[in-house]
Amino acid sequence: MAIITIFHNQYIHMRTTLLFIGTRFALILFLSLSCLQVAKAQKKEQRPPNFLIIFADDLGYGDLGVYGNPTIATPNLDRMAHEGQKWTNFYAAASVCTPSRAALLTGRLPIRSGMSSNKHRVLFPDSKNGLPADEITIAEQLKQAGYNTACIGKWHLGHKEQYLPTNNGFDYYFGIPYSNDMDKLTEMPYWDYWQQKDEDIKTEHFNVPLIRNTEIIERPANQHTITKRYSEEAISFIKENKDEPFFVYLAHNLPHIPLFASKAFTGKSKRGLYGDVVEEIDDGVGKILAVLKDEGLADNTIVIFTSDNGPWLPFKNNGGSAGLLRGGKGTTWEGGMREPTIFWGPGLIAPGTVSDIGSTMDLFVTFSSMAEIETPQDRIIDGVDLSATLLNRETGPRKSIFYYRGRELYAVRSGDYKAHIITQGAYGEFGERKVHEIPLLFNLNHDASEQFNIAKEHPDVIKRINELIELHNSGLVKGEDQLAERE
C-alpha cells in the first residue's frame, strides 16, 4: 500500500510539473506569436498603401451597370462600387485625352503646364513636344517614398523617348503612346472611314506601335488582344512588386474607337461591340482585384476606376452614353467631363455613395498625403486632399471645378451651381461657339442635365462665380502651348 502511495504521489508531482512546463511553453508560444503579429502589424502600418489607377478612354457616365446602364454587364466594377465608394460628382480636368491625362498625373490644370491648345486639342504622332520635363508626375512624387511604378496602356503625353513614361517617374512602361485611331494606313478620309461596317474596320489599318519601356515590340499593335494584355501586365507587375509599395497607372486605349475585343468577348454583350469592349475591361478589373486578394494586398491597396473624358457621341452605337448628363467628349457640358468614378480598398476605404465634388487632379495630393510626402511648394497644385473623405467619409474639401476647353475657361462650378461663360458643341454637335454676356446658370443637384437656365433668378450666384473667376485669373500663369507644333 505504501508503494502505491509513493507512485501515486510521484505521478501527481510529474503531472503538475508537465502541466507547469506545458503552460509556460504555451505562454511563451502565445507571446511569441503575439509579438510576431504586432511586428507584422507595425510593419504593415509603416508601409504606405499601394495605388492603382484604372483609366478608361472615352467611357461615359452612363456606361456601367452601377451607374444605370441596363445592358452592359459590369459585375466587377459594380462590386467595387458596393465594397468601396461610388462618386457621383467626380470630374476629369478636360474633355479630351492629352490635357486630361496631364492633369491627372501632375495634379494641375493643363493650362498651367501648356498641355492644352486651341490649335490642336491633343498630341499626334507627328507632334513636336510632350509633357514638359519640369512637371512632376504622381510617379515621380511617389518615388520619393520608395514606390515601384508602372505605366501600362495609353500614354498620350508625347511619343518621343524623352517624353515617355520611363522619363517621367515610371520604372516600367508597356503600351501605345497615343490614341488607337492614329497612324491610320487607309487613304479613306477619317470621318468617311467610320461609316463602314464594324467588320470592315481592321486592327491592321492602324499602324500604332506597342512599346515596352522605350522599344517598339509590335507594330501595328494587335488591338483585339490589347485590353487583355494590359490587364495581364498589371497583374504581373503587382506580383513581382508585392513586397514593396507600388503604383500602377493602367490606362486602357478603349472604349475609344476603333473598337476591338478578344474572341472570348466578341458578341458577348447585349449592347453590341461597345458593350463587348467595356465588359472585357470589367473582366480585367475582376482579375486584378482577385490577385490583390490572393496575394494579401487588398487591405493595403487603393484602386481607382474612372475615365479620361466623356463618350464620343458622333460614333453613335460605337460611342458610349453620358446617361442623364448633357453633351459628351470635347464639350464642357457635364457629359464631357463628369465621369463614373469608384474607389476601392477594403482595408482602407469607408464604403458608400459620395456626392461631394472630386477631380482626377486630387489624386496627386491624396496619394502624397497617404504616402506622407510633402506636395511641391514651388508651383500651384490644383488638387486637394480627399483622404479624409475616402477613409472616414468626412465632407470633401473641393468646392469648385474649372472647365477649360483648350486655353479658354468656358465654365465654372461652385458648390451646387455651374455657370457657362462660353458654350460650344463638339464634332458638329450641340451648337456653335457662343459667348454669354450673362452666363447660363444651372443648379446641378436639381438639374444634372443642364436644361433649365436659372441665371435671372440668382444674380447673387452669378456675382459670386464671377468673383471666383477673377481670383483664379489673377494668379494664372499659362504655360507655353506644347500641343500646337507638329513636324
Q: How confident is the model at residue 2 (pLDDT cuts 50, 70, 90)?
A: very low
**170 with 150: CB under 8 angstroms?**
yes
pLDDT at 346: 96
CATH code: domain 46-395 is 3.40.720.10
Strand pairing of 301-307 and 85-91?
Answer: unpaired
d(CA 244, CA 250): 18
348 C-beta neighbours (distance < 10 Å), count: 18
d(CA 64, CA 77): 8
Three cell numbers written together for 389: 473623405
Cα atoms found within 13 Å of the Cα of residue 210, Cβ hemisphere only? 19
d(CA 127, CA 243): 39
CA angle 158–164–165, rounded 5-degree value: 125
Q: How confident is the model at residue 27 (pLDDT cuts 50, 70, 90)?
A: very low
pLDDT at 45: 57
Residues taking part in catalysis: 97, 156
391 C-beta neighbours (distance < 10 Å), count: 14
Q: What is the arithmetic mean of pLDDT over 35-42?
A: 44
Q: Give start-end residues of each CATH 3.40.720.10 domain in the chain.
A: 46-395
Question: How many percent of the chain have pLDDT more than 90?
Answer: 89
Q: What is the pLDDT of residues 405-455, one digit of tens each?
A: 999 999 999 999 999 999 999 987 667 899 999 999 999 999 999 999 999
Q: What is the pLDDT of residues 371-397, one digit of tens each?
A: 999 999 999 999 999 999 999 999 999
Three cell numbers written together for 229: 494584355
Q: How far is CA 343 from CA 51, 175, 284, 319, in A?
A: 11, 24, 16, 25
DSSP states of 214-236 as a string? TEEEESS--TTSHHHHHHHHHHH
CATH code: domain 403-474 is 3.30.1120.10
pLDDT at 283: 98
Q: Give start-end residues of each CATH 3.30.1120.10 domain in the chain.
A: 403-474
Q: What is the pLDDT of residues 290-329, one digit of tens each?
A: 999 999 999 999 999 999 999 999 999 999 999 999 999 9
pLDDT at 40: 41
**Residue closest to 66 by CA, chosen among 55, 53, 80, 52:** 80
Q: How confident is the model at residue 21 (pLDDT cuts 50, 70, 90)?
A: very low
